[in-house]
Amino acid sequence: MKTRHTLPGDIERTSMSIIAAELAERGVVLPPEHEAVVKRVIHTTADFDYANTLRFTPRAVELAQAALRRSVPIVTDTNMAKAGVSKPSLEKLGCTLHCFMADPEVAREASRRGLTRAAVSMEKAAREYPDAILAVGNAPTALLRIAELIEEGLRPALVVGVPVGFVNVEESKEILFAACEAHGVPAIAAMGRKGGSSVAAAVCNALLYAATETLDPAARGWQ
C-alpha cells in the first residue's frame, strides 16, 4: 500500500479536505462559525457523528475566541486533555493552562466531602479563575458541579462539555447546556455518550487556532 503524504502539514490539509468532501457527500452543511470546531473534532476522532451531536450556544465560538485573545486561562478536567492543548498557541495569546485533578488539596477535600475530585477541581477553578474556559472531557460530575456553580453566579468564558461514557453522561450535558442557555454562558457540548479528553483538547485547539489565525498548518510553521 502506497502512502499519500509524510509531512504533518500535508497530512492535516489532506485530512481536512477529505472531511469536507465526506460531509458534502452526507449532505451536511455546517454553519461557518462552527466549521473549524466540528472539523477539528472529526479530524481527531474520525467520527462524523460529531457533525450532528456538537451543540453550540449562540455566538459561543466568537465569544470564546474573544476571551482567548484577552488571555483567559483554560482549565481541563484531565491531564490528558491538558497535554493535548496546543502550547505554542497558548503562548501566542498569553493564556495559561491548568488541571487540578492531581492537586493534594482537591484530593483531600473530595475525600472529606464524599465527592469526585473532578467536581472539587471545578470548584477550585471557579475560585481561582472564574472567567476561565472550562474544558471537561471525562467527568460528568464536573459538568454537574459547573451547572450548579453557574446557577450560583459563576460566569466562565466558555464551558466545553464533552465527557464520554454511560453513567450520567447524557444527563450532565443536557443539564449543563440548559444552565448555560438560561444564564447566557457560552457552551459547546457533544450531546449523547460520545466525547473524551481528546475531544475536549480538539475543541480548545480549534478555538486557539482560530484566535491566532493559524487554522492552516502552514501558519503554525508546519510544512
**Catalytic residues, which ones?**
43
Beta strands, E only, the chain: 54-56, 74-76, 97-99, 133-136, 158-161, 187-190
When computed from its CA atoms, the radius of gyration of the chain, rounded to whole angstroms, is 17
Q: Which of 164, 206, 222 is nearest to 74 (CA)?
A: 206
How far, in Å, are 27, 71, 88, 106, 175 from residue 214 at the CA level? Answer: 27, 17, 11, 36, 33
Owner of C-alpha cell 462539555: 161
**Taking the CB of residue 92, how many other CB atoms lie within 10 A of it?**
17
Say how many CA atoms lie within 13 Å of 131 toward its Cβ. Answer: 10
Residue 189's contacts (CB-CB under 8 Å, 6 or more residues apart) are 54, 55, 159, 160, 161, 162, 173, 176, 177
Sequential DSSP letters for 116-136: -HHHHHHHHHHHH-TTSEEEE
